[in-house]
Amino acid sequence: MSRPRILLVDDEPSILDGLRRQFRVDRARWDFDAASSGAEALAKLRDQPCDVVISDMRMPGMDGAELLRTVAERHPGTIRFVLSGDAEPAAIQRVRFVAHQYLMKPCTADGLRRALERTLTHRSGVSSPDVLAAVTGLEPLPHHPRVVEALRRLLAAGTTDAAGIADLVERDIALAAKLMQLANSGRDPEDAPVTGIGDAVRQAGPTAVRTLLDRELSADRSDAELQRTERGSPIHEAAWAGASLVRQIALDLDRAELAEAAFAARLLRDAGRLILAARGDAATIDRSTACGVADDDRTDVRAAGAFLLALWGVPQELVDAAADCSENPTFGDRTLAGLIHTADLCSRQPAGPSGPNGPLQGGPHAVEPASPDRWRQAAARLSAEARFRTIGPTAGFGAECERFP
């Protein structure tokens, strides 16, 4: 297998020289090339495609945003990073839809190296070129149409209630993933990441959420786009149900500090399912059972989702938990992945009078005897609730119950 090729783009020779020195120890596993302008970078890509482009933002002539947009259009499978000293929100806004990650200068060599390692490692788990192009391309993930409708109404009412906005964002995998990407952009990889969806919404603010909706959901969408969006609705609903169950289990097991990260990891785990469903793979919907757990959860689905999350700079602990495919998960394990496994096991066994049995008895981690059946009952309840939406007073729409399509 050929080594990944990385193209470095910056108009300052000293920056390029510094990057070359930083990556000298990596030449046994990665090949590097450099360009001093956007035009030169495109010419090099035309002659020999690269796996990753790392570009400065401010350059004379073609800037980083324009370069990466052109790269995305001509070479959709290319990973696109911005490495810039411009921390202005306007600069980040310009590239957030064409760059997969926005890293700040000065970025430590280890931080940049880790960002590349995690992205390239998870990319290697995706074997289909079409799926790779779908993950790295410009096409947004399909949203839940009723969630978007409710969110637009909420924002149009002028709300600044971050909790109300987050409550809706948590029901849409695509919105949640994009806001997690935005919240973790423009920071050094060494800094503490944002791991909760509520924190990501609070950091972004209502204006950024509105801009995201306007960018990803044009008013004059084609019939094909609307059909593509509708196709993913059951996946959003099942993912929310599964994530809500994980959050409840985390709280019940006295792991409140992990509850929001566990919710995010479980919700975003189904990003891969959403990608494949958008491409017309109906099996990714049909395989879903209670709380979105598939009896034969496919590694290609998990791999595509993990690659997307790593690509977008979602915190590593969430990517690892979402990608975990342990064949023998331990029931009651209090780790991030363990909480998700526990929820999966509960979701696979319907609640009934027989009480805890089968795999729910196993494992060295003690739980209250009544907990497994209570969680199974919660799984059934949440799966039903996922198909309905109570618009509460915080949303300003009364207390009517609205059914999702």
For 13-71, the three-class secondary structure string (H helix, E strand, C coil) is HHHHHHHHHHCHHHCCCCEEEEECCHHHHHHHHHHCCCCEEEECCCCCCCCHHHHHHHH
- CA dist 126 and 278 (Å) reads 17
Structure tokens belonging to residue 397: 């729409």
CB 396, CB 258: distance < 8 Å: no
Q: Maximum distance among all alpha carbons in the chain?
A: 72
Structural domains in the chain, sorted by start: 5-124 (3.40.50.2300), 145-403 (1.10.3210.10)
Helices in 124-172 by DSSP H: which ranges? 129-136, 145-156, 162-169
Neighbours of 377 (CB within 10 A): 14
CB 240, CB 381: distance < 8 Å: no
Selection from 8, 236, 280 nearest residue 134 by Cα: 280
290-293-294 Cα angle (round to 5): 115
List C-alpha distances in Å: 258 to 70, 183, 317. 40, 18, 11
The pTM of this model reads 0.82
- CA dist 337 and 354 (Å) reads 27
- CA dist 316 and 337 (Å) reads 12
Per-residue pLDDT of the chain (405 residues; tens, 9 = 90+): 589 999 999 999 998 999 899 899 998 999 999 999 999 999 999 999 999 999 998 899 898 989 999 999 999 889 999 988 765 666 666 777 788 988 887 777 888 898 899 999 999 888 888 888 888 887 778 888 888 888 988 998 888 889 999 999 999 999 999 999 888 876 665 678 889 999 999 988 888 888 888 876 654 454 455 555 566 788 999 999 999 999 999 999 999 999 999 999 999 989 888 888 776 654 544 454 445 555 445 567 788 888 999 998 888 889 988 887 555 556 667 888 889 888 888 887 655 444 444 444 445 455 565 577 888 888 888 888 887 444 443 333 333 334 333
Dihedral (Cα; 123, 143, 216, 393), 10-degree rounding = -130
Structure tokens belonging to residue 145: 């149409």
Residue partners of 68: CB distance under 8 A and separation at least 6: 53, 55, 80, 82, 95, 98, 99
Rounded to the nearest 10 degrees, what angle do helices 271-278 and 223-231 cross at? 140
Structure tokens belonging to residue 404: 């999702």
